[in-house]
Amino acid sequence: MAEVKPNLDSIVAHMPGVRDAVADELEHRADRVRAVVEAHRHSGALAAHTRVRTNRTDSTVTLEDPAVFAINYGHLAPNGRWVPGIHAIEAGL
């Protein structure tokens, strides 16, 4: 009879090849996010605060700007006109 270890997910997640594959995939996704951010940059602040962080078993792309929600999804300009978002987050999905 086969036996499955209860912590198999942790064992697989910590394998060097798996960690490398996760980091590589995240880097490709981060490149897509960066491309969208660079194409729509106004002041450069969002591009300067785009970070890729790799931990032991996972990786994340973060956009650290106080206005990231409005920049990504859109907002009303002071004159009342709708400014569409750049949807950089969706580019990385």
* Domain that residue 76 falls in: 7-92
Q: Is residue 1 part of a domain?
A: no
Q: Is residue 71 part of a domain?
A: yes
pLDDT at 79 over 90: yes
Q: Is residue 2 part of a domain?
A: no
C-alpha–C-alpha distance, residues 82 and 63, integer Å: 22
Q: What is the mean pLDDT of residues 43-49?
A: 79
Q: How many domains does the chain have?
A: 1
Residue 87 pLDDT grade (very low, low, confident, very high; cuts 50, 70, 90):
very high
pLDDT in tens, 11-34: 998 899 998 999 899 989 989 998
Inter-CA distances, 58 with 2, 17, 51, 76, Å: 29, 13, 14, 36
